[in-house]
């Protein structure tokens, strides 16, 4: 049995269809993963290739478009210009912050569904994170020189506007030969973020936020489950403080809503649809599409991601499946079945020397998928972002 399609076969499937929408994650897909997020880089040719696809392409990321850590800064740096992207529509269109920061190719921004008091609280979180992390590191790593501790904190606290994040890759790198210590650091990371969640309740925001763990191994009792460190990988490296309802599968429907409105002039889910008022389950999201999007308006969907996990839970003899891309990739697969379209789900191996993650080797999907997994990949990009960018160039040359 042939398991995966070739790159050429996937391109053929895409270009044979007029009505298409590529929905793609960013970090680990077209941007190599690094320990310090401020050192990320984006390929200039890839940026230009994306612009050739115009409305046929949208990003869906838990990163952000704007701010000093935003992908827009990476694009300006790659083009060596602060004005070229704006003038030529070279920014990456689509949804960031897991579904609450939308922009078009010219960086016209909106944040559908977020309230002003939520934004105000989010701006205060990075300062609170720094203070809490500083106290924890003094206790946990008492021999750390002050200068190094400050440097590790600078890298760990990501002061993004809508998704303030603790990223422990650099700290894990410092204790990487002791995976028990890495695990203890994960618990510290979780403790800090849970404290922030408790603090939000004092401001009447008890239903506003949730914690997004990257990677995770699914959800239990409404909370994402930490993937603990092992001798082979770090497991959960980042925890984001996110707007409740901001999940990628709801974001997929927001992108569909805008894509179809651009083509037909009518928003199938209504003009005010956003991730906050979207249905909360896969079955309800699918039902909404079935009820509101006629078959001739539904595009062929191509989903691209790198964060998918599957771990055997020996206690319950079941599989814990998670990862921030799993939800929207699964939804794309299901919509393909519902609308009888050959939707494509692509997986990029993002593991590298800086960020240890499980990777697919041939038919071995340990840590990513399992024999009973409903999510099936059409194509695997084995060698990470570099190989994906080369494939994307090949695809874009048809437009």
Q: Tens digits of per-residue pLDDT, 132-183?
A: 999 999 999 999 999 999 999 999 999 999 999 999 988 888 887 788 899 9
pLDDT band (50, 70, 90) for residue 119 = very high
Domain ranges of the chain: 7-114+246-396, 116-161+164-243
- 238's enclosing H/E stretch is strand 238-243
Note the residue count of the chain. Answer: 399
CA 74 from centre of chain: 17
Place of tokens 């651009």: 262
- C-alpha–C-alpha distance, residues 25 and 60, integer Å: 5
Could you tell me the two tokens for 313? Answer: 């839970």
pLDDT at 37: 87
Per residue in 195-253, pLDDT (tens digit) is: 999 999 999 999 999 999 999 999 988 899 999 988 888 899 999 999 998 999 999 99
Question: Residue 119 is encoded by which pair of tokens?
Answer: 């934004």
Percent of the chain with pLDDT over 70: 99
Nearest by Cα to 323 from 62, 64, 38 = 62
CA distance 193 to 241: 7
Q: Token pair for residue 75?
A: 């694009």
Answer whether residue 398 shows pLDDT above 60: yes
Q: How confident is the model at residue 268 (pLDDT cuts 50, 70, 90)?
A: very high
CB 197 within 8 A of CB 211: yes
**Model confidence band, residue 356 (pLDDT cutoffs 50, 70, 90):** confident
d(CA 350, CA 384): 5
Judged by average pLDDT, the poorest of 43-57, 265-279, 339-353, 357-371 is: 357-371
* Helix, strand or coil, per DSSP, at residue 366: coil
Which pLDDT does position 1 carry in this prediction? Answer: 36
Averaged over 106-115, what is the pLDDT? Answer: 94
In sequence order, what are the residues at sequence separation of 6 or more whose Cβ sits closer than 8 angstroms to the Cβ of residue 134? 149, 153
Three-state SS annotation for 367-387: ECCCCCCCCCCCEEECCHHHH
**For residue 245, what are its two tokens?**
């309802």
342, 327, 337, 324: which is closest to 379 by C-alpha?
342
Distance of CA 346 to the CA centre of its chain: 14
* SS3 state of residue 298: coil
Distance, CA of 74 to CA of 32 (rounded, Å): 12
Architecture of domain 7-114+246-396: 3-Layer(aba) Sandwich (3.40)
Q: Is 128 exposed, middle or buried (0-12, 13-18, 19+ CB in 10 A)?
A: middle
Q: Per residue in 41-86, pLDDT tens?
A: 999 999 999 999 999 999 999 999 999 999 999 999 999 999 999 9
Cα 104 versus chain centre, distance: 18
What span, in angstroms and rounded, lies between the C-alpha atoms of 14 and 168?
A: 38
- Is the CB of residue 161 less than 8 Å from the CB of residue 67? yes
| Whether residue 2 has pLDDT greater than 70 | no
Which phi and psi angles does 184 have, rounded to 5°? -65, -35
Q: CB–CB of 292/268 below 8 Å?
A: yes
- The reported pLDDT for the residue numbered 363 is 87
Q: Residue 35 pLDDT > 90, yes or no?
A: no
């Amino acid at each position: 049995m042939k398991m995966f399609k070739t790159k050429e076969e996937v391109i053929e499937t895409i270009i044979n269809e007029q009505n298409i929408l590529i929905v793609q994650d960013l970090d680990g897909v077209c941007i190599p993963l690094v320990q310090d997020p401020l050192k990320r880089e984006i390929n200039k040719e890839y940026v230009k290739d994306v612009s050739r696809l115009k409305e046929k392409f949208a990003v869906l990321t838990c990163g952000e478009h704007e701010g000093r850590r935003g992908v827009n800064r990476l694009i300006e740096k790659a083009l060596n210009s602060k004005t070229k992207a704006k003038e030529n529509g070279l920014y990456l269109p689509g949804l960031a912050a897991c579904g609450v920061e939308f922009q078009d190719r010219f960086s016209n921004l909106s944040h559908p569904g977020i309230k002003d008091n939520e934004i105000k609280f989010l701006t205060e979180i990075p300062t609170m994170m720094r203070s809490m992390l500083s106290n924890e590191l003094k206790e946990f790593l008492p021999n750390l020189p002050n200068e190094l501790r400050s440097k590790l904190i600078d890298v760990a606290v990501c002061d993004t506007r809508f998704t303030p994040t603790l990223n422990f890759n650099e700290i894990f790198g410092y204790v990487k030969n002791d995976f028990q210590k890495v695990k203890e650091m994960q618990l510290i990371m979780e403790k800090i973020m849970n404290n922030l969640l408790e603090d939000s309740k004092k401001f009447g925001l008890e239903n506003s936020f949730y914690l997004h763990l990257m990677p995770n191994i699914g959800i239990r009792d409404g909370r994402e489950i930490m993937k603990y460190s092992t001798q082979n990988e770090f497991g959960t490296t980042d925890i984001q403080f996110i707007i409740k309802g901001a999940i990628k599968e709801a974001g997929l429907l927001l992108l569909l809503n805008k894509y179809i409105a651009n083509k037909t002039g009518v928003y199938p889910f209504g003009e005010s649809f956003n991730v906050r008022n979207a249905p909360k389950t896969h079955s309800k999201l699918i039902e909404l599409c079935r009820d509101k999007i006629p078959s001739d308006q539904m595009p062929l969907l191509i989903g691209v991601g790198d964060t998918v996990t599957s771990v055997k839970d020996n206690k319950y003899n079941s599989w814990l499946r998670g990862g921030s891309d799993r939800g929207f990739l699964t939804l794309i697969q299901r919509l393909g079945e519902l609308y009888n379209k050959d939707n494509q789900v692509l997986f990029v191996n993002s593991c590298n020397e800086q960020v240890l993650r499980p990777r697919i080797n041939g038919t071995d999907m340990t840590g990513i998928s399992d024999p009973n997994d409903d999510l099936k990949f059409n194509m695997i990009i084995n060698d990470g972002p570099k190989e994906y960018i080369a494939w994307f160039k090949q695809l874009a040359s048809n437009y």
